[in-house]
Structure 1
Amino acid sequence: MATSGSFLFNLDLGEAIEEAFERAGLELRSGYDYKTARRSIDLLMLEWQNRGLNLWTVNFGTQALTQGTNSYTLNGKIFDIVEAFLRTDSGDTQSQFDQSMSRISISQYSHLSNKLTQAKPLEYYIQRTPEGIIVNLWPTPDGQETYTFGYYYMERIEDAGKPASNNMDIPARYLPCFVAGLAYNLSIKYPEAADRAGLLKGEYQEQWDLASDAAREKASLFISPGGYKF
């Protein structure tokens, strides 16, 4: 039996939009149809980020720390920080050391009596702004060692862009979910497709469950018997 031997299947923006229109029982006829679909795609990508951790968007970043400075504005493409640590003597093969840091809430941060206390940073609070996020460290970095804030972060999914030849910034395994989500969003925008909205919503949710389950973290989890004693 002959097979293609290829593993490169993908859909460009134009093909994905056309498939979504067909699923909604519509035809892609005008430039406005393409424009409104592209807008729905960008909103769909923001929805995906709000749904939770998308592993393909996780990247690593660092921020050099300065003595006496406890607040740092990160790149606007950073959606959230997943894990963070404090690195001392970065780049020194003999003495570089990473120490895990604890993320605290705004309530916990506000209750710190002296936010200007200088020592080795142990905790961080994430402040969200419309432009991005600000990391607030406690204690404020001192000058005893060279500190680097290392962090794994969720990056915003890239915008669709205008050319129909663009590919989306998603893994190929998410294409069924992407097309299903776009078809559903189109069905609630076009009155002639309203009767398919319920069906398309169910299909979208099923495809999301399949994709997100396949992309979940598969590292082993160990649970020790015991627990709290009263």
Structure 2
Amino acid sequence: MTTSGSVDFNLDMAEITEEAFERCGSEFRTGYDARTARRSLNLLFAEWANRGLNLWTVEQVTQTLVQYSTSSSVATYPIGTITATVGSSTDLVVGRTITGSASGTTAEVLSKPTSTTITITVPSGPFTAGEAITSNASDESGVSTTITTDPSLSDAQAAVDVLEAVVRRSGSDIGISRISRGDYLDTPDKTTQGRPSQFYVDRLITPTITLWPSPENSTDQLIYYRVRRIEDADAGINTADIPFRFLPCLTAGLSYYLSMKKAPQLVPTLKAIYEEEFQRAASEDSERTALRLVPSFSSLSLS
């Protein structure tokens, strides 16, 4: 007998939901069943973010740093990309503040990918679609264009945390260390410019990363690994944003969540199965590196 030769087994959201309902001793039949299962799946994904690191959600981000034009500026960047579509980006200057004429919202320009798009820092509020935005060019004369829509914050808000970061200059990477909110607050002069050596992550709804010292040029690159959110469970035909190894865990977790609503008598059993499946999957989802132990002889007394 021959094997199948196939290694592409997967389940879509509808199949995962059917399996979970069957484990609860029920059947997946109505539109409300689909809605309640989808809600439970998204809550389950949020719970996984709280349980610790999921390696498949780690991604590398590269951000070209900006030396702001005034010494009073602080180098705070979104953990991700915020792109705004404008009438023309030609006369806008990287590192300068743009201001919405109607909304009064402000943000700093980080880059100009195309002639009609810019990337910006986290805006102080929503921009009004179609409003004029003004900035100051190097000659301090006003520059004006329009912003098409309020830019989406979804990419930046998908960030959960930052794991590690380096600053690249002339092809060489130098690691920078993470500091706490209190350590950053204790920094006497937050506007000092130089090669960044520390970073502080402010875990807001739209999280940010702040560098110290503030960048001294606009050519260094900040390269970091961020943990992103698991993508939502939406349409039943979609597959889950997980590796196949987590399918048993996801199915067990959904059946446990559904049992709290559909079959309370099964909650202890299904919870125990879920915890076992998650522990097994989480143990597998880890980095494998060599362990080197070096004995210490500092306390050895020779007579």
**TM-score, with structure 1 as normaliser:** 0.90
Q: What residue number does 2:33 align with?
A: 33
Shift of 1:226: 3.7
Shift of 1:227: 10
Q: What residue number does 1:173 align with?
A: 245
The whole-number CA distance in structure 2 between the counterparts of 1:101 and 1:225 is: 29
Shift of 1:4: 1.1
The whole-number CA distance in structure 2 between the counterparts of 1:226 and 1:119 is: 39
Name the SS of the counterpart of 1:151 in structure 2: strand
Question: What is the aligned counterpart of 2:226 among 153, 158, 165?
Answer: 153
- Which AA in structure 1 matches 2:51? R
- Deviation >4 Å, runs of 4+: none
Name the SS of the counterpart of 1:146 in structure 2: coil
Structure with greater Cα Rg: 2
Q: What residue number does 2:294 align with?
A: 224
Q: CA RMSD in A?
A: 1.6
The whole-number CA distance in structure 2 between the counterparts of 1:43 and 1:121 is: 38
Q: What residue number does 1:70 align with?
A: 75
Q: What residue number does 2:92 align with?
A: none
Q: Kindly provide the CA deviation profile for residues 184-210 of structure 1, in whole angstroms up to 9, marking residues without a partner as x.
A: 0001122xx111100000000000011
Identity %: 44
Cα distance 1:228–1:148, how it changes in 2: closer, same or farther (>3 A)?
farther
Cα distance 1:105–1:172, how it changes in 2: closer, same or farther (>3 A)?
same
Point out the structure with the larger helix share. Answer: 1
Q: What residue number does 1:203 align with?
A: 273
Cα distance 1:15–1:198, how it changes in 2: closer, same or farther (>3 A)?
same
Number of residue-to-residue matches in the alignment: 218
The whole-number CA distance in structure 2 between the counterparts of 1:37 and 1:175 is: 15
The whole-number CA distance in structure 1 between the counterparts of 2:274 and 2:292 is: 33
Q: Structure 1 unaligned segments of length 5 or more: list them.
A: 90-95
Moved more, 200-209 or 152-161: 152-161
Shift of 1:228: 9.7
Shift of 1:225: 3.3
Shift of 1:43: 0.9
